[in-house]
Amino acid sequence: MEYIGNKKYWDDKFASRSDNVLSPERSIVENLTCFKKGSVLDIACGDGRNALYLLENGFKVTGVDFSSKALERLRNFAKRSNYFVNTRQIDLSVSNSLKNIGIFDNVLINHYRLNKKQFLDIENQITEGGILFICGFGHKHPVDSKIRNQDLIQQEDFQYINKSFNLIKYIESEEDRGFFVTYIYRKY
Ligand SMILES: C[S@@+](CC[C@H](N)C(=O)[O-])C[C@H]1O[C@@H](n2cnc3c(N)ncnc32)[C@H](O)[C@@H]1O
């Protein structure tokens, strides 16, 4: 699924950013202890503000995104701090695109919306007791020409994975930037 814009939109956006890493998502910082120690697959990682934060906190990180510009920035930021990050350029709108990505202790999806079927695909790519952490614009966020209804995370997105995962935490927050939800699932 295309989230907010197409590849060119995102490449241009990342190319025009300054040479600084943005702050990690607050919900990830506040709930870091929920993550299982080990590896993280950061889906639609962008230029890596969260991936870098997780590297700093001892996780092994693989970031996937369709923007080559975003991944290049992430690799450069990581190198600057002497971290290694694995990156894969993947278009998530292609079906089965995550199929051979490997198995991880945590999957993070921050500000991206996977479709219901893709959740089924990643179900087998999380270790037992592993965490699926999703955060982004939620169902009450006002839609406009930029953030469309199809970009908002809905409870029904997770309907197929409820049998293998336990929702350990659900958070709603209203901020200047909008209405956010965080879902933290642990795999049985
Ligand atoms: C709002 S940014 C979030 C980036 C990062 N997760 C963060 O929290 O800073 C959305 C990301 O989704 C990526 N994206 C959008 N559509 C995609 C697609 N079809 N396949 C892969 N990545 C995509 C964009 O390149 C961008 O990096």
- Give 92-150 pLDDT, tens digit per residue: 999 889 988 999 999 999 999 998 888 888 888 999 999 999 999 999 998 887 888 89
Domain count, the chain: 1
Ligand 1 centroid from CA 68, angstroms: 11
Task: Name the residue of 10, 53, 114 to mutate for ligand 1: max ligand atoms within 8 A of Cβ.
Answer: 10
Q: Is residue 4 part of a domain?
A: no
- Tens digit of pLDDT for each residue in 53-104? 999 999 999 999 999 999 999 999 999 999 999 999 999 999 889 988 999 9
Q: Is residue 24 part of a domain?
A: no
Q: Return the DSSP state at 133.
A: E
Q: Is residue 26 part of a domain?
A: no
Q: Is residue 15 part of a domain?
A: no
Q: Is residue 59 part of a domain?
A: yes
Q: How would residue 1 be classed by pLDDT, with cut points 50, 70 and 90?
A: low
- Cβ 185 vs Cβ 158: under 8 Å: yes
Range of the domain at 95: 37-187
* C-alpha span between 79 and 76 (Å, rounded): 5
Task: Name the residue of 28, 64, 66 to mutate for ligand 1: max ligand atoms within 8 A of Cβ.
Answer: 66
Q: Is residue 3 part of a domain?
A: no
DSSP E strands: which ranges in the chain?
39-43, 60-65, 86-89, 104-110, 126-137, 165-175, 178-187
Q: Is residue 73 part of a domain?
A: yes
Ligand 1 centroid from CA 130, angstroms: 23
Q: Is residue 28 part of a domain?
A: no
H-assigned helices in the chain: 7-15, 26-30, 49-56, 68-80, 116-123
- Work out which ligand 1 atom sits closest to the CA atom of 108: 6
- Within the chain, what is the greatest distance between any pair of CA atoms? 43
Q: Which residues line ligand 1 (CB under 6 A)?
A: 2-3, 10, 25, 44-46, 49-50, 65-67, 70, 91-93, 110-112
* C-alpha span between 160 and 187 (Å, rounded): 13
Domain harbouring 143, CATH code: 3.40.50.150
